[in-house]
Amino acid sequence: MFKKSTLAAAVIGLSVMMAAGTANAAAKTHTATDNDTFWKLSKQYNVPLDKLQEANPSIDPLNIYIGMKLTIPSMEKEAAANEVKAASVDSAKTITAVNGKKIEYSKSLNVQATAYTAAASENGKWGAVDYFGDKLKVGTIAVDPKLIPLGTKLYVTGYDYNGLPQGGMVATATDIGGAIKGNRIDIFVPGSTSQAQSFGIQNVKLFVIE
């Protein structure tokens, strides 16, 4: 017969194996193919883009190559996430936009901003489109997805530039860039590269509205 200690060890071992099986079932592994992006994978697996990025913090969105292993998180805890989101909405604050409209926001960030244009020299092989393949336009900003998830809507204030709405504007984080890391954003502006250079580096304030 088994001693009690041996039986206890066997039970513990079985529990560990079951827990590991549950963890494995909770997430999937995707082997990247040509032209995979976080955006395409979020649509393929029906996983929010920010959750997919959180599950793969060490992967550079601009350097997903064939054979790379990516973690596809389970959405079993989506209900809990929705509760957190609802709590965030309940605690939202309000600002008044330049047009007099009241805008609710969940938090604000002070960041440094630069400007970029649709010039080929600034956009490389991808052309004048954002991370999702949409045409660059006023209201497009490039962010570090680790700080501001792609798809986030923002109200931007504090900049001073002729080609942008005066006083503030609603923008969406739909682009990224190799030099955009941490507390830094890049704001798309119409016009030439030489015009955009006059923007320089400005301290702006972001209000997260979505």
How many CB atoms sit inside 10 A of residue 189's CB? 23
pLDDT tens for the chain, residues 1 to 210: 444 444 444 433 444 344 444 444 467 899 999 889 888 898 888 888 888 888 999 988 888 899 999 999 987 666 455 554 544 444 568 988 888 889 899 999 999 999 999 999 898 887 899 999 999 999 999 999 999 999 999 999 999 999 999 999 999 999 998 889 999 999 999 999 999 999 999 999 999 996
pTM of the predicted structure, to 2 decimals: 0.62
Burial class (CB in 10 A: 0-12, 13-18, 19+), 153: middle
Q: What angle do CA 31, 62, 197 make, to 5 degrees?
A: 170
Q: Is the dihedral of CA 55, 60, 64, 65 positive or negative?
A: negative
Q: Which fold has domain 93-208?
A: Barwin-like endoglucanases (2.40.40)
Domain boundaries, the chain: 24-91, 93-208
Q: What is the DSSP letter of 144?
A: -
Q: Which of 69, 10, 197 is nearest to 122 (CA)?
A: 197
**CATH number for the domain formed by residue range(s) 24-91:** 3.10.350.10
- Give me the helices (H) in the chain, please: 4-26, 38-45, 49-55, 78-90, 120-123, 193-197
